[in-house]
Every structure is written in C-alpha cells, then in structure tokens.
Amino acid sequence: MKLLLTSAGISNTSIHNALVELLGKPVAEASALFVPTAIYGIKGGADIIRRVIRGSLGDPFCELGWKSLGLLELTALPSIKRELWIPMLQETDALLVGGGDCQYLCYWMQQSGLTDLLPSLLRKTVYVGLSAGSMIMTRFGTTYGNHVLPAETDKSLNLVDLAIHPHLDHEWFPENSLASIEKLAATIPVPSYAIDDQTAIKVTDGAVEVISEGHWKLFTP
C-alpha cells in the first residue's frame, strides 16, 4: 500500500520528492485520476473544483505536469458499467483524492464500490490525499473547520491505524490550534498527527513517515 496523505497538496519540494519516490518515476511520466467528489459537499464546490484542476487555488495537486490527468466522479459510478471505469482505475499511476466534506466523500467511496477495490488497487497505484481525502483513510475520527469525520467505522475507510488533523494553525481554521488538537487527540486511542500545510504523512506497506518543511506534532495515546 502506497499513500501520501497531505494537508494541502504537493506544497513543497520534500513532498514532491516523496511522491516521485512512491511513483517510481517522474510525475511527467505518470498518469493520474482526480476525484473531486468531496468538494461538491462544500459551498461553491463547482468553482473550487475548476480552480483546483487549473492550479489557480492552493498548492499544486492536479497541475503538476502529469503525463495524463482524468476525472473520476464517484457519484456517477453506480450508474456506469464497471467494465468502463475499473480498467481505467487499475491502469492509472496515481489517484488524487481532493478535500472538502469528509462524510460526503466517505459515503460515495463506499456507494461507488471504490472502497472495496482499494486494498488491491493500492498495491500498485499511489493514493494521494488532500485534507478530507487524507482524513478518510484513517481509522478514527478527526475534525477541522466545519468538516467532521466521526469515529464510527462506517464513516471512515479504516486503512491506516492513525488519525490526521490537517491545517495545523491555519488562519482559516482558528480552532485548529495545537492546544485544541491536543485535547482532541487525547480522546483517540491511536497515534494522532497534527500537520500543517507544509507537511504530509507517507505510508508504505504500513510504515509511516512524516514528510515536512513546516510544523507537525505526534500525539501518542
């Protein structure tokens, strides 16, 4: 399993290098599929998706110079024959899962059937999460801003046994202070990583590594 769980995207050279290492080749030689679904769950979602794809909002994610970039909209998949989208998914090098509303994203990951495919898919494909796209891979609930991922197992995908608290000390999320996250982490029985937008968590076959040019803190249960 190869995961790069970011707070805000490929925001610096260290995170970019970690992505290339997981891919096993330069980004310019790799294909990617972008999952925008979670963004529809927040205000102004359609325009935010446009800006993320164009690279005019936030840190690089879609606009990294991929060899090819496609869209995988989870809400459409139940109405499409599986033989039309599963091979496309299996052939891609990176799955880019954007931020937004955690519960909405988790619901459609499950309803679309993608959740069931992830364990086998991620033996080859690199999963790159951004904010909510990272949080849903955890086992226990985390919170930031107005987006909540409850601790119930049917509301998260349970693929990594840790918690991620993104956007540490971000001006848009005053509740994401280190003190606030420390209180939340004390209620969670797994390691909790508070990470800022210059930090990512790299997971390779269960081995966890922090990639950072910013600030982060690990809280242990």
Q: Which residues of 185-209 are buried (b: 16+ CB within 10 A; e: fewer)?
A: beebeebbbbbbbbbbbbbeeeebe
Q: E strands along 133-215, which residues?
A: 142-144, 147-149, 163-165, 192-195, 199-204, 207-212
Q: What's the DSSP call for residue 59?
A: S
Give the pair of three-digit tokens for residue 213. 């040019």
Give the residue numbers spanning the domain of 39.
2-219
0.85 cut: is pTM over it? yes
Give the pair of three-digit tokens for residue 29. 């030689």
Tens digits of residue pLDDT in 130-187: 999 999 998 755 554 444 444 444 556 878 999 999 999 888 777 888 998 899 889 8
Query: What is the rounded CA–CA span in Å between residue 194 and residue 215?
Result: 8
Say what the pLDDT of residue 142 is: 52
Give the pair of three-digit tokens for residue 12. 């610096």
Q: What is the CATH number of the domain that holds 77?
A: 3.40.50.880
Q: Which residue type is seen at 81?
A: K
For residue 99, give every residue at least 6 positions away whose Cβ sits within 8 Å of its Cβ, in sequence order, or none.
38, 39, 130, 131, 132, 133
The mean predicted confidence, pLDDT, of the chain is 90
Tens digits of residue pLDDT in 179-216: 988 998 898 889 999 999 999 999 999 899 999 999 99
Q: How many domains does the chain have?
A: 1
In contact, 19 and 60? CB cutoff 8 Å: no
Query: What is the rounded CA–CA span in Å between residue 141 and residue 148?
Result: 7
Mean pLDDT of 37-63: 93
Instruction: Say if strands 2-6 and 163-165 run parallel, antiparallel, or are unpaired.
Output: unpaired
Say what the pLDDT of residue 153 is: 41
